Amino acid sequence: MGHPWSRLEPAELADARLQLHWAAQVAAAPGATLAEPRADFAHLSLGPAETPGLLAGAAIPGPRPWRAALRLSPPRLELLDAAGESVETLDLAGRSLDEARAWLQAAAERWTGAALARDLALPEQAPPEHAVSRGAPFDDLGERAEQLDAWFAGAARLLDGVRGREPGASPARLWPHHLDLAVLVDAASEPGMPADASVGVGLSPGDEGRDAPYLYVTPWPHPEPRGLPGLPAGGRWNTDGWVGAVLEADAVLDAAPGERGARAEQFVSAAMADARALLRR
């Protein structure tokens, strides 16, 4: 079976990406409202759940613990029990953001048998404005959601490989303020590194700077944008606002279907080596 990453026009994905970005805010609401705050803001993040295709938020403790989760394709909210099993689901097509949040609150109260300590509120850092954020219902995203889900699934496998090779790598987390799925590699203990050195590796499904999905590798602290080394497999350096290596969707999709995963892995491996070299200079 070939790699699942495949092509749609960026403009076709941009609107679907924004709708899923707002859907992720609902799944992150329990962590933002009820979970113990963490210094790294991980309580706001989602991560791959026990069931493939689900991105689950922070666990909410109690006699009947639960988590909210988002399925990207078809877009759906799910309430999970402590074992990761789905208890209730809500298809988002035709539902408004307020309806989705109210459903999640009611479903959690049905599951726990008690009122929540606080009404669920979306994370404070909001995505770009969209009709959905102004009360319009979510669309039936169809193939567009399938395509974005495939990009995230491919990235999750890629990040599993990074975590297997890098003992300092964090769990893969999807951050609702950018909708990127990423791991952070702690490099501070490596010889010659700054005290706060790290390397981020992830997938953005697109943003205000790029409509299409892209992979990225970012050294921290950001190096000066001078003397940046060459990158393989169509990679390039972003220097507008942040410094990091980027592999855009077209560079992945120009490879044969069975070679796309290898192209992405080659880029990540080389860019991580370059990022470490930049941090040491």
Arithmetic mean of pLDDT, 81-101? 97
Give pLDDT, residue 268.
97
Give pLDDT, residue 2.
38
Give pLDDT, residue 83.
94
Q: CA–CA separation, 21 vs 15, rounded Å?
A: 10
Lowest mean pLDDT segment, chosen from 151-155, 196-200, 230-234: 230-234
Give pLDDT, residue 8.
67
What three-state secondary structure class fits 86? strand
Per-residue pLDDT tens over the stretch 3-14: 467 666 766 789
Per-residue pLDDT tens over the stretch 30-57: 999 999 999 888 999 999 988 888 999 9
Give pLDDT, residue 209.
87
Answer whether residue 226 shows pLDDT above 70.
yes
- β-strands 76-80, 86-91: how paired? antiparallel
Per-residue pLDDT tens over the stretch 146-176: 999 999 999 999 999 999 999 999 999 999 9
How confident is residue 257, by pLDDT bands cut at 50, 70 and 90?
confident
What three-state secondary structure class fits 258? helix
Give pLDDT, residue 153.
92
**What is the average pLDDT value for the chain, to the nearest integer?**
93
Give pLDDT, residue 12.
75
Q: In what order do the strands lie in the sheet with 198-204?
A: 173-175, 180-186, 198-204, 214-220, 244-248, 236-238
70, amino acid identity: L
Answer whether residue 88 shows pLDDT above 50.
yes
Q: CA–CA separation, 6 vs 126, rounded Å?
A: 29
Give pLDDT, residue 6.
66
First to last CA, the chain: 42
Other beta carbons less than 10 A from residue 226's beta carbon: 7
Give pLDDT, residue 4.
60
How confident is residue 98, by pLDDT bands cut at 50, 70 and 90?
very high
How confident is residue 1, by pLDDT bands cut at 50, 70 and 90?
very low
Per-residue pLDDT tens over the stretch 112-133: 999 999 999 999 999 999 999 9
